[in-house]
Structures are given as C-alpha cells and as structure tokens.
Chains A and B, each alone.
Chain A
Amino acid sequence: AQSVTQLDSHVSVSEGTPVLLRCNYSSSYSPSLFWYVQHPNKGLQLLLKYTSAATLVKGINGFEAEFKKSETSFHLTKPSAHMSDAAEYFCVVSDLRSNDYKLSFGAGTTVTVRA
C-alpha cells in the first residue's frame, strides 16, 4: 500500500529565505507524486507533479521538487519565500500497481512567512 509522510507539521521562514518541505513516500511500484497548496479557506491547487519523466520537477510560483528513488523522497523547495507562500502544503502519492487511482495525502505542512 502507498503512504506519505510529511516530516514537518509546521515550517516558519523569513521572507526572502529558502523554503524546504520534506516528504517521504512508500510505494510498491512506480509512483506518481504531487504537491498541492491550500491557502486559507480555499481549495487545493496543484503546484507540481512527477510521473516518471525528469526527476527534477518545476512547478508554479518558483517551486520545484526532486524525486529521489533511493531515498524515497520528494522534497519541495523554493529559493526565496514570499509572503504569499503562507499556506498549507500537501504531498500526495498515487501507486500505479494499486490500480484503483486513489491518492494518499500527507498530513500537511503549514508554512508561515515572517516579514
């Protein structure tokens, strides 16, 4: 069965400094991996996705993530945080072998950005 662990429930950064959100996954087969962002009182928006192409994936708003199979990780980074990045971030995995097209969501990481 697939699962996702987001290693930090809360991350606080200063504006203009790098952001790192850590995600480890468990999957029996070749996974698809996603990062979603949820701003307060909003729905979930896709930041980026990995589906077995390039291991370094670039997303919207300057975010990127690197798929590392040997470490079963898919960490999300941004070189310079902006106030608008304050939100909750979800790491998500889908396992092709399960063949049921469910997604497994991490518990989420809340990001706060200090001025």
Chain B
Amino acid sequence: DAGVIQSPRHEVTEMGQEVTLRCKPISGHDYLFWYRQTMMRGLELLIYFNNNVPIDDSGMPEDRFSAKMPNASFSTLKIQPSEPRDSAVYFCASSLVNRGRIDTQYFGPGTRLTVL
C-alpha cells in the first residue's frame, strides 16, 4: 500500500485566497483525521470522519475552515479566505477501529501551507 497520500506537499498563497488540501487514506480504513501542526500549538486535531461522515469538528478553528469526505478514498480540507495565521503543516491520518479500540493512525507526509 502507498500509505496516506496528501497533495500538494507545499502550498504558498496570498492572504484572502482559497486553499484546498487533499488526502487519500489507506484503502479499507474507515476513520480519517485532519491535524494541524505549528510550533506554538503543537499537533491539533481539526476534524475526523467515520465512514465518510464527520463525527467531531470541534477542533476546526473557525468558519473559514471546512472539510468534506465525498467517498471512502478522498477528503479535502478547505480554507476560504486564508490568513497568515493559517500557516502550518496540515496532516491527514487514517486508521481502523479494532475490537472497539482505536488502532494505529497512519499519517501522511503533510502539506506545508504558507500564507503571505
């Protein structure tokens, strides 16, 4: 398996522009997680899905952020409009739940977003 795939790997944009980050989870995994990592705040969970349905979006910072999972093999995280404080590395992860326990979360390589 190719693992979790994220694109683009790097994104540089100007304030006010729309940004779309993409993720392809590992085939067969039914949970998908979006995280944001910054020096100041560390790793933060933004939202997660189970079987394509958003379960908890309490970590989404504000309405400028939205996430979708139209099918089991694809998810997007959109920021509109983007702001400089959104600059961070965004990770996607996928996993299975095994006998009621969260199994290993497999992380993608991340998208490094810079908003100028």
Contact = CB atoms under 8 A, between A and B. Distances in A.
A39 to B, nearest CB: 11
Contacts of B50: 101
Interface stretch (A10-18, A20-28, A44-52, A69-77): A44-52
A44 B107 contact: yes
A103 B91 CA distance: 14
Interface extent on A, as a size class? 20 to 34
Contacts of B12: none
Interface string A41-76: 111111001011000000000000000000000000
Interface SS majority for chain B? strand
Contacts of B55: 100-101
Given A43-B91, A96-B100, A103 B42 contact: no
Contact of B97 (A46, A90, A101, A103): A101
B104 A102 contact: no
Interface extent on B, as a size class? 20 to 34
A55 B58 CA distance: 33
Given A43-B110, A90-B43, A101 B31 contact: yes
Contacts of B106: 46
A105 B101 contact: no
B104 A49 contact: yes
Contacts of A100: 55-56
A34 B104 contact: yes
B25 interface: no
B54 interface: no
B101 A44 contact: no
B98 to A, nearest CB: 8
Interface string B55-66: 110000000000
Interface of B: 4, 31, 42-43, 45, 48, 50, 55-56, 91, 93, 95, 97, 100-110, 112
